[in-house]
Amino acid sequence: MPRGLDHIVHAVADLDPAADIYRALGFAVGAENHHPWGTSNRIVQLPGCFVELLAIARPDQVTAHAPRTFSFGAFNREFLARGEGLSMLALESRNAAADAESFRAAGFGGFDLLRFERTGRKADGSLVTVGFSLAFAVDPKARDAGFFVCQQHHPQNFWDPVLQIHPNGVSAIAGVVLVAENPADHHIFLSMLAGERNLHATSAGMTVPTPRGAIEVMSPVAFSAGFGVPPDLSHGARLAAVRLAVPDVAAVRARLRGGWIAMSERGDRLVVPAEVAHGATLVFEREARGG
C-alpha cells in the first residue's frame, strides 16, 4: 500500500534560533519536546505532515548504532557534525512491524522496531501522551540521508488543527527534494520505501508520487537551475529542500521582504536558501487547485 509523507527531520545545532527563523518565515512553531535518546524537537505541524526541528540536547544519552539497532540520536549527531540541514525523511505507516519486516526482506532493513512514548503539549497548553513506532530503512547510496516509516499510536493527541494554522498561509507540504548524482540509482529503494511502483522520469530526474506529497530526486545541475546551490554530495545523495504549498505566493513574498529575509524567485516559486534556513532550502509555491 502506498505511504504518504509523514514528516521531515530538520537537524539544527540549536532549536531556539531555528525556531526563530521559522517564525520569521510565518510558521507557528510548537513547544519543545524531549526524546529518551538525547534529542529534543520543536514541530511545525501541517495537515497529516510536519517538519521536525531537531537538536542534540543531551549528548550523554545518545546511544551507539548496533547490528540490529538504528540509533536515531547517533545518526543525527553524525549528520550535524557535517552541518545543519534536512537529515531524515519519514513516511506514514499503518503497521510499522510489518513494514520493518518488508524492509528486511527487500535487503534495505534488518533493524529492530523502535517504539516509544513522550509527553506532548497541545496549543492550549494541556499535556498529552503521544506514541510512535519507527521502522528504519537504509539506502546504501544515500548515507547522509535517513529514511523510516512512522506509525502513530495516539494520533488524536498529536494532530492539533490550531497548530496547523500559519500566518504565512502554508497549507501543506507539497514535497521533498533529494539531490543525487544519478537519480536513477535510487529508483528501487524509493519505490520500496513509498510502496509505489509507478515512478515518473522527469527532465530533472525522477518523481515518486505518494498519497501525501511527492519525493523528487534531482541531479545537482537540475537542483541548481531550480532552487540554487546544491548540497555537498560527498557522502551520497542528500535531502535538500522542502516544497511548501500556499494559496497566495504574493503574500508570502511581501512577508519575506518585510522581514528582510533573503530569497530568490524561480519562476512562480519563492526560494529561501539553505544559508538562511539552517541548511535547508525552503520553497514556497502555489497550492494545487482541485478540478
pLDDT of residue 20: 97
Of the chain, the percentage scoring pLDDT greater than 70 comes to 99
Q: What is the pLDDT of residues 59-88, one digit of tens each?
A: 999 998 888 999 999 999 999 999 999 999
Domain map of the chain by residue range?
5-162, 172-286
- Beta strand 238-246 pairing with 127-137: unpaired
Q: Where are the alpha helices (DSSP H) in the chain?
A: 15-24, 72-80, 96-106, 155-158, 187-194, 220-226, 249-258
120: confidence class by pLDDT, cuts 50, 70, 90:
confident
Distance CA 235, CA 251 (A): 38
Query: What is the overall mean pLDDT for the chain?
Result: 94
- Residues 234 and 246: their CA atoms lie apart, in Å, by 33
Q: Which architecture, in CATH terms, is 5-162? A: Roll (3.10)
Name residue 23's amino acid. R
- Between 124 and 280, whose confidence is greater? 280
Supply the pLDDT for residue 111.
Answer: 94
The region of weakest confidence among 104-108, 191-195, 203-207, 286-290 is: 286-290
Following DSSP, what letter does each residue of 143-182 receive, concatenated?
TT-EEEEEEES-HHHH--GGGG--TT---EEEEEEEE-SS
What is the pLDDT confidence band of residue 290, given thresholds at 50, 70 and 90? Answer: low
Taking the C-alpha atoms of residue 54 and residue 33, their distance in angstroms, rounded to an integer, is: 10
Specify the pLDDT at position 3: 96
pLDDT digits (tens, 9 = 90+) for 239-270: 999 999 999 999 999 999 999 999 999 989 99
Q: Model confidence over 8-29: pLDDT tens digits? A: 999 999 999 999 999 999 999 9
Residue 99 confidence (pLDDT): 96
pLDDT at 289 over 80: no
Determine the average pLDDT of the residues in 174-188: 96
Task: Return the closest-CA partner of residue 14 out of 34, 33, 40.
Answer: 40
8 A C-beta contact, residue 41 and residue 15: yes
Q: Residue range 174-192: average pLDDT?
A: 96
Residue 47 has pLDDT above 70, yes or no: yes
In the CATH scheme, what architecture does the domain 172-286 have? Roll (3.10)
As given in the structure block, the three cell numbers for residue 202 are 522527469
Tell me the pTM: 0.96
The confidence score (pLDDT) of residue 202 equals 85
Task: Give the model's pLDDT for residue 291.
Answer: 38
How far is the C-alpha of 32 from the C-alpha of 194, rounded, in Å? 29
Equal fold, 5-162 vs 172-286: yes
d(CA 135, CA 118): 18
